[in-house]
Structure 1
């Protein structure tokens, strides 16, 4: 277990962190471990859907960008690199074109856009969960305060807590728009890569021939019902 995990566990057991904070930390740690090489699908699972993004724009007045322009920007990045680097990176072996050099370069170009979008998507999801936890806590505190006539009057009132929740929601909404925009760029890059290279872009995964770790093997066995 890492030092961060040990510290979090110790503080949680001592009551220094709320269950919600521990859950957020565990989820973030799980995503980091499981998605060392994120793909487009991992991003799309976290960012708002197109319909949800439309609702966020209307509700919060945030700027999400034009989907076609963002997707086209991602596509153009890959296409421009393809055209520019083709005569340099494509070689001839026994009279046939070898695209390995160009493919590896474009792999890295798309990987950079994917990682940028995935980082923003993770940050949005964390902000969203913080806002949700605060809203749930506010609803519970509001119900308790109305039921308890002897509550501590020095505590933050319902209006103050409500304003805090509104602020957290806005932060989540703003970061949702950023993550959504970057996901559009990444989607355009992946589509262009597939068209140009004749195969879908996939994140690089190291295959060193070793057996799976016990933890990974156990998860896979459980998923298959072994």
Structure 2
């Protein structure tokens, strides 16, 4: 019983706030294939090329039409907040696609390296006329890369539209960090706890 009381009276350790990296358009660009890489992917795997500029322009026009439709009813501040959230969703989606692409590249490389090992008997090429697992993994990674590139184009259009509509640069929303208790408040709490 005394042990339970001692555990209850022990001060709770505050969890350290987790620092999450803000998802920015720059981060997405670092993870996404470049225009040159996207061209190589579409050529090497026989996939349709991505019209980056067309996607960006269409997204930008869509945001402008959306804002124009809301403008008579929604005030400037509410519209800015609304657009900030939608742009955040676009950038977050592009980030998710880019990290998915990175993981699929890793899988494809690992599977291909296993095939290059002459001492392995399993994981050889598939039956004649069918792709092996490694070839399918490489093609899947290429498709994921082009998807990430297309979503990066969309996110770029959304960020450009935000700047054009609000006159501000888009920044990812970061929740305010709750203020931690001061040292004197922590000391007072520890002293009260010690008094029982």
Corresponding residue of 2:167: 198
Residue 69 of structure 1 pairs with residue 54 of structure 2:
yes
1:183-212 residue CA offsets vs partner (Å, 9 max, x unmatched): 10110110111122111111100113435x
1:160-195 residue CA offsets vs partner (Å, 9 max, x unmatched): 499322111100001111111111011011011112
Corresponding residue of 1:178: 147
Corresponding residue of 1:3: none
Instruction: Give the unaligned 5+ runs of structure 2.
Output: 1-18, 181-196
Q: 1:176 to 1:157 in 2, by over 3 A?
A: closer
Q: Matches of 2:29 and 2:168 in 1, distance apart?
A: 20
Q: Measure how far apart 1:135 and its partner are.
A: 2.0
More helix by share: 1
Q: 1:34 to 1:133 in 2, by over 3 A?
A: farther
Q: Measure how far apart 1:84 and its partner are.
A: 1.3
Find 1:40's aligned residue among 20, 25, 31.
Answer: 25
Contact persistence 2:38–2:50 (CA under 8 A): no
RMSD: 2.1
Which of the pair has more CA radius of gyration? 2
- TM-score, normalised via structure 1 length: 0.64
Q: Matches of 2:35 and 2:87 in 1, distance apart?
A: 22
Q: Matches of 1:174 and 1:126 in 2, distance apart?
A: 13
Find 2:105's aligned residue among 128, 137, 161.
Answer: 128
Find 1:210's aligned residue among 179, 187, 190.
Answer: 179
Q: Measure how far apart 1:138 and its partner are.
A: 2.5
Structure 2 residue matching 1:88: 3-state secondary structure: coil
Q: Matches of 1:208 and 1:165 in 2, distance apart?
A: 45
Q: Counterparts in 2 of 1:69-88, with a 5 A limit?
A: 69-88=54-73
